[in-house]
Amino acid sequence: MEEGKLRELKQFIEICKSNPSLLHNPSLSFFKTYLLSLGARIPPQPKTEPGDFDDKSDPPLSAQNDIVESDIELDNADVVEPDNDPPQKMGDPSAEITEEQRDAAQLAKSKAVDAMSQGNLDEALAQLTEAILLNPQSAILYATRASIYMKLKKPNAAIRDADTALKINPDSAKGYKIRGMSRAMLGLWEEAASDFHVASKLDYDEEISMALKKVEPNALKIEEHRRKYERLRKQKQQKRAPIKTEAPIKKEQETEAQVQAALSALKDGQVMGIHSSGELEKKLSAASKTSRLAILYFTATWCGPCRFISPIYTSLAEKYPKVVFLKVDIDEARDVAAGWNISSVPTFFFVKNGKEVDSVVGADKSTLESKIAQHAGSL
């Protein structure tokens, strides 16, 4: 890491030490989630007084977040204390796996399933860990071990396994489902709801539906409260701002509303599946309104190079959260593939302000990332 960025990081950590309530700010939710996944304990949010909005100046950053979350009545009945165990053993995903290792891993998994059926979760955990070390390229092994950690009330360990499962297989419904349940155990309601929505689209089941019904009310309360604060904050800014004529104000409000609507259609750090031309138009329009680079990835389930590049594409989405990552299965969305004249997969198109600016054909990891950095950096 560059020396300048290291200095900035040290300064940021010192600020967090002096004022830990900063970690409750919504914009730092990714950092808070990461700390919790390592077993860290985050100090509770300080409460704010009801009259905070009447102050002449904006409340400090921590107080702003308190207004958003601390006075919401949430159902926290099933929230548990974060587990602080050292990270569990993970296999080497780059290792070459022999047939003998795959067979041995399958045998260990069978023993784990038997142990689970008998209620012996510790034995099941040991057998699955052995299976993972034998075959660290199996998403289902990580997802299954995550489900055991969740039953043992160890949500951070479960999230680590679910994250690994999703890196191996971005379409793992079980990975999203278990991660959503684990996040709910930590009170990460918005993140949990997002996982359940993805899981239900990939492979709907009644358990996901029931979990979503419990999580979503909390997530919606937080979202609505955040909007309420944002409206109040803007009202205060407008009072202090120079008086404007009605027409420019109305235009600004309309533009802001369009940007917010566009942002709500996008998911930072995630790959979004496209199933129709209409859906693609909406995503590209949202990307254009928010001045974001959009990448359109055409793939197919039968394509070997696609299976290689898909997890890399997912990891790039996490690395570049302000870039819009789209994914199209050419056999599922034939109209989209025809509209873009797809003749081979994988194919990637780079779109800025509604216009194609570049493309990559084939599973070339280095070229793909270099073009993402090039076009995202020029926005």
pLDDT tier for residue 256 given thresholds of 50, 70 and 90: low
Helix then strand then coil, % of the chain, to nearest 5: 65, 10, 30
pLDDT tens by residue, 177-215: 999 999 999 989 999 999 999 998 998 889 988 988 998
Domain ranges in the chain are: 99-221, 271-377
Q: Give the range among 6-10, 27-31, 54-58, 92-96 with minimum mean pLDDT.
A: 54-58
Six-digit token string for 242: 């120079």
Percentage of residues of the chain with pLDDT beyond 90: 49
- Residue 159 pLDDT exceeds 70: yes
Rg (the chain; Cα; Å): 23
Distance of CA 191 to the CA centre of its chain: 7
- pLDDT of 45 strictly over 60: yes
* CATH 2.60.40.10 holds for 271-377: no
Catalytic residue among 157, 222, 303, 316: 303
CA pair distance 144, 113, nearest whole angstrom: 9
Phi-psi region of 282 (alpha: psi -120 to 50; beta: other; left: phi over 0): alpha
**Taking the complete model, does pTM exceed 0.85, yes or no?**
no
pLDDT above 70 as % of the chain: 83
Q: Are 300 and 306 in contact (CB under 8 A)?
A: yes
Q: Which residues pair with 326 in a beta bridge?
A: 272, 296
Query: Of 133, 143, 306, 363, which is the active-site residue?
Result: 306
Distance CA 133, CA 112 (A): 14
Residue 52 confidence class, pLDDT cut points 50, 70, 90 = very low
Mark whether 306 is an active-site residue.
yes
The half-sphere exposure of 176 on its side-chain side, counting CA atoms within 13 A, is 23
Query: How are beta strands 347-352 and 294-299 bridged, if at all?
Result: antiparallel
β-strand partners of 298: 328, 347
Q: Which helix (H) or strand (E) holds 113?
A: helix 99-117
Task: Report whether 316 contacts 364 (CB < 8 A).
Answer: no
SS3 271: strand
- 99-221 fold: 1.25.40
- How would you class 57 by CB atoms within 10 Å of its CB: exposed for 0-12, middle for 13-18, buried for 19 or more? exposed
- Report the distance separating Cα 216 and Cα 130, nearest Å: 36
Q: Does 53 have pLDDT greater than 60?
A: no
Helix axes 99-117, 121-134, angle to 10 degrees: 170
